[in-house]
Structure 1
């Protein structure tokens, strides 16, 4: 019987449950589900009702050509979301996403904002009162919201897209920053009011963060249950060091009080207890070129007083935080030995306790009034699906509009010892049934501060398993979930410890009887692409190498990436010189497939272009021909996100591997021309 992984079309057509938000009464959750549109060129998102306490089937709540996202709730159960769908109550032509409300009592959703630049996200909504704060980008030259709309229209009419920067950074991942700046706006008035006489009833918006500059670009926010105080992170450069302070904003007066502010320290991930008396947050010193810094967990009173560090001996980094209902503990998620567990962290200073212990990673965590956790769970065999986790760790699957497809692989935990004695572990995916030993595909994760523990729609190893490969997903030095010492082993030495770790675990897996060590390939994206480049220049053991969005020449990268300050802090000039793959281009003998998107601002296209140019200069024959290939996407970014481009990506990768690993005839996807 065929599976969803035998066909790229079937795989792309799978519904994707991306996030969930628990309703105030705890009986259901709003899930954002992405599905392929009718012409198979984009994903459209809708919000579904997912039952928690009953056996009802999931029910779709929203439907529009533009889609919906960012589900949240008012205390009365009304559903909030963002969408750029047209508003039937007004003739205003605003294409940007707005805030919408769907009444819990029934009826149609209606828009509650009409910002010309749109709403970026729902920043915070109070648990106990109808107070909602939205994030929106506003032009700094406008005196008020009305003038902001007029200025936007003038720029659009005159086709002006120029941006005058006054500070760095100027880009982020896949988009230019500016000229608009992120603000936090509170909705002053009742959201539940219905329209009268055909005129939309929209609460006025008030700016809580006038003239913020770029301080809120990477901000986290939380609001007290009574809606009186918003706490937000404000970033700046202090004494040449990136700093993020936590600031309390009085929602009525706009008065600000700094709660914690230290040069070179980032405070973030802030959450507030249900009684509104305490906050918890992460405190992360700036790492240096010599040492990686810990991500600490702190708690304090709501005014920032009496701060205490929690779980000081816990060698894990929290990915998310939430208060337990009684306020005596935090519920956290963290990478942990190739999984992503849920932990309970007591506020009395005692040691964290793992709530889950299975081979999964948990995300989108919601804590119910009785302490039950509603979350999304995934691993490399199962995409995200909703589960209920009791306080004793019992996990129950919930109904979902995005059913988990039947796996075509089995997943095993593998490990070995590196040359320095460190334990190196990973996951190995193998075909369910194979008549002979499988060719091996070594797949290196990005980051580098990352772990192969959770499903990714962008990197789907089961598609490679469907092609007959065994896929090795290792966590080498620099990977998270194994402690600071494990990260420190590779800090500033990307081309040393991660490489030897990868070769050690590859050796161990190739020694298995079910692996064909004579047919192997290596691939990776971002940091994984960097490692693919390094591998290519340091060994000829693989038959093919695929490098996606990869760092190639460190002498140019620091000044072109969207985060130059972080990069220069991360790696010294000497380390960058010693660990740059471009220095070893002459040693490359393995066929390489280079892939890069032009809109990639994290690893700019110059890296891919220079890699291709260096390969050509070093290895092209007299006719200009060479065994290497370059797959270029003019309008994609660090990831290849549009459905048909993702399909082309997989088709090209698998054709390249089939040619050089399996010995098949060279082919090219039809739509590449």
Structure 2
């Protein structure tokens, strides 16, 4: 038997006569094509996100992003899911501009955001994102109102129906009409300049300003909405803030950032009286950052996520605190629980919290019953499978938690789980999309670090891999670095590589979440230490398996994973190729230019940054590298990619023999989001690996010729 060569598969939706072979896996039989064998089919898969539950518990709504007919972008629509699992999912919206952000009113009407044109308007053009209402009893959706800068988020009081929305508004604007006039003046004068008086000035992939987020209030049932500005002149206080409104509509709790000097700022939590606009501090101290406030259904208590401010020697610690809405001393929730909570929701009776957190390569649902004090809180893990759960929605009768379940081997899909039973099995609900067939299997790998610490990771094995047909291995290094390989990934999807015959190793080295505070502290401030040696230890365990060809191994990573790929390149020649995406290269340059440089000051001292900087080891790099970077990346600015590329090519005496490549996206950010760019990303990675791992010839992807 001989190994087949790489070739394109026919569409997975038309299997008749399809022939699809995996590189490096000897076989005489065609392998059933899946969406992962065809990049066009893969990017066309529908993608679920978000989940909202009606007040009576009878309706679930999720967003589904689908590829537009021209294949250049995704459009999101809202779908209804039956919480009982009896009825199939049905589509609710079909706007040309898409719909998002579903939230229910107390009457069961559905609010959502969309830039679709107003049917009563004289123009058919899309406008700024507006707030729309879809009646519970059926009928057409109708607009409730918008602002010149659009509506970016919305919350509804579960008792009164009071609506609170956030809207970007130009400084100095008093009314919505005033904001529109100012925007028109800037546009007519072709002005894009922004004057800053503080820090930060940008976030992730967008500039901050000149608009500032404001919270707007609309009375229940008002059509059209008449907005009252609750936060005039907030400056940058509400950037990236989340908020909630009390059941009676009388109070809003929201994140509120303050400057502390030396370029630093910290988000606290404030309470705003909706009748007067009076603001008071609820959670505030310079040693912590607070986010994600949620008011209990009885209107008495606020829960928020708390993160300690790190130092170069001490990693941050994340927990939950509760505080009376009327004010008082906060208390930590389950202080002995060594996990980092992420999403948090109250049960309907206000006695417990439903929480998500990373744990051992999974992302379970947990229930925390609140006792009389910190020592009385009890934590129950509700899910015992390998799923990673998001968007928890506790039912009003206290029986269920609805959520989106995903995993390394499962795309997000709706489920319900017992709200009280430990380690229960999730019950799948009929959703808007069917699970795609996978071209392989998932298993786990364990190893021991040099200090004896248990290490683990997921291993994706392609169909057909075995002792007689070992697969080439790709080491994928996760970003963060405070993260874990425990969830489905659309951007870095290992099953696309499995479809081409590669095994993919997804390890969690030091700094990964879900293994306790000590595991994070092992690598804190020493990125080139335990994280690197942990990766090599798990790789050693993977290549020792009979299904893996230890002679053909490559490494890939993005963001922090790209940093580590660069560090690997300068410290070992064991890999046949390295792909580094949106990567940190020169830490002295990165620190002051990233979008949140003030955080970097709490991560490493200048001496630590110098000691852990990959650029110092450029002379040692002998492995061919594919560098990928987007120009709109503000988290890891393009200067990192440009400097890395120069440091590689300037060391090549013979330009014709340069083994490295640089894939540059002028209009992408930290993530490659445009569907056709995603296809091109994978085509280029495949072409690069085909040369250096599989021993083939370089073939430039057609769209790059």
The alignment partner of 2:492 has SS state of coil
Aligned to 1:195: none
Compared with structure 1, are the counterparts of its residues 558 and 626 closer, same or farther at alpha carbon in structure 2 (3 Å cutoff)? same
- How far apart, in 2, do the equivalents of 1:164 and 1:369 lie? 48
Q: What does residue range 636-651 of structure 1 map to in structure 2 within 5 Å?
A: 636-651=668-683
Deviation of 1:126 (Å): 1.0
Q: 1:94, 1:114 within 8 Å by CA — same for their partners in 2?
A: no
Deviation of 1:48 (Å): 0.7
1:215 aligns with 2:222: no
Deviation of 1:116 (Å): 1.0
Aligned to 2:56: 25
- How far apart, in 1, do the equivalents of 2:434 and 2:463 lie? 20
Deviation of 1:394 (Å): 3.4
Q: Please say which of residues 254-263 and 299-308 is displaced more in the overlay.
A: 299-308
Aligned to 1:655: 687
Structure 1 residues 271-296: Cα deviation after superposition (integer angstroms, max 9, x where no partner): 11111111111222211111012112
1:70 aligns with 2:101: yes
Aligned to 2:249: 227
1:60 to 88, 91, 99: 91
Structure 1 residues 370-420: Cα deviation after superposition (integer angstroms, max 9, x where no partner): 221110011111100000011222310001112111222211121110111
2:524 to 491, 504, 520: 491
Aligned residues: CA RMSD: 1.3
2:207 to 171, 176, 186: 176
Give 5+ residue unaligned stretches, structure 1.
Answer: 192-200
Q: Please say which of residues 86-95 and 402-411 is displaced more in the overlay.
A: 86-95
Deviation of 1:625 (Å): 4.5
Deviation of 1:2 (Å): 1.3
Q: 1:28, 1:53 within 8 Å by CA — same for their partners in 2?
A: no
Q: 2:97, 2:116 within 8 Å by CA — same for their partners in 1?
A: yes
- How far apart, in 1, do the equivalents of 2:326 and 2:288 lie? 19
Q: 1:381, 1:409 within 8 Å by CA — same for their partners in 2?
A: no
Q: Please say which of residues 141-150 and 158-167 is displaced more in the overlay.
A: 141-150
The alignment partner of 2:35 has SS state of coil
Q: 2:510, 2:530 within 8 Å by CA — same for their partners in 1?
A: yes
Aligned to 1:148: 179
The alignment partner of 1:569 has SS state of coil
1:453 aligns with 2:486: yes
1:205 aligns with 2:227: yes
Aligned to 2:415: 387
Q: 2:446, 2:538 within 8 Å by CA — same for their partners in 1?
A: yes
- How far apart, in 2, do the equivalents of 1:310 and 1:130 lie? 30
- How far apart, in 2, do the equivalents of 1:286 and 1:83 lie? 37
Give 5+ residue unaligned stretches, structure 2.
Answer: 1-31
Q: 1:242, 1:286 within 8 Å by CA — same for their partners in 2?
A: no
Aligned to 2:367: 344
The alignment partner of 2:378 has SS state of coil
Deviation of 1:253 (Å): 1.4
Deviation of 1:307 (Å): 2.5
Aligned to 1:368: 395
The alignment partner of 1:534 has SS state of helix
Q: 2:353, 2:367 within 8 Å by CA — same for their partners in 1?
A: yes
- How far apart, in 2, do the equivalents of 1:294 and 1:266 lie? 11
Deviation of 1:31 (Å): 0.9
Aligned to 2:385: 358
Q: 1:188, 1:203 within 8 Å by CA — same for their partners in 2?
A: yes
Q: 2:569, 2:622 within 8 Å by CA — same for their partners in 1?
A: yes
Deviation of 1:326 (Å): 2.1
Moved over 6 A (4+): none
- How far apart, in 1, do the equivalents of 2:565 and 2:459 lie? 18
- How far apart, in 2, do the equivalents of 1:439 and 1:203 lie? 59
TM-score, with length taken from structure 2: 0.92
Q: 2:629, 2:665 within 8 Å by CA — same for their partners in 1?
A: yes
- How far apart, in 2, do the equivalents of 1:390 and 1:96 lie? 40
Deviation of 1:190 (Å): 1.5
Deviation of 1:242 (Å): 2.6
Aligned to 2:145: 113
Q: What does residue range 36-435 of structure 1 map to in structure 2 within 5 Å?
A: 36-91=67-122, 95-122=127-154, 124-191=155-222, 201-238=223-260, 240=262, 241-348=264-371, 349-371=376-398, 372-391=400-419, 392=421, 393-434=424-465
1:666 aligns with 2:693: no
The alignment partner of 1:340 has SS state of coil
- How far apart, in 2, do the equivalents of 1:454 and 1:94 lie? 35
- How far apart, in 2, do the equivalents of 1:114 and 1:281 lie? 29
- How far apart, in 2, do the equivalents of 1:634 and 1:96 lie? 26
Deviation of 1:13 (Å): 0.9
Aligned to 1:5: 36
- How far apart, in 2, do the equivalents of 1:441 and 1:556 lie? 29
Structure 1 residues 222-250: Cα deviation after superposition (integer angstroms, max 9, x where no partner): 11111111111111122555322211111
Q: What does residue range 622-633 of structure 1 map to in structure 2 within 5 Å?
A: 622-623=654-655, 625-633=657-665
Q: 1:341, 1:360 within 8 Å by CA — same for their partners in 2?
A: yes
The alignment partner of 2:592 has SS state of coil
- How far apart, in 1, do the equivalents of 2:688 and 2:640 lie? 21
**Matched pairs, number:** 662
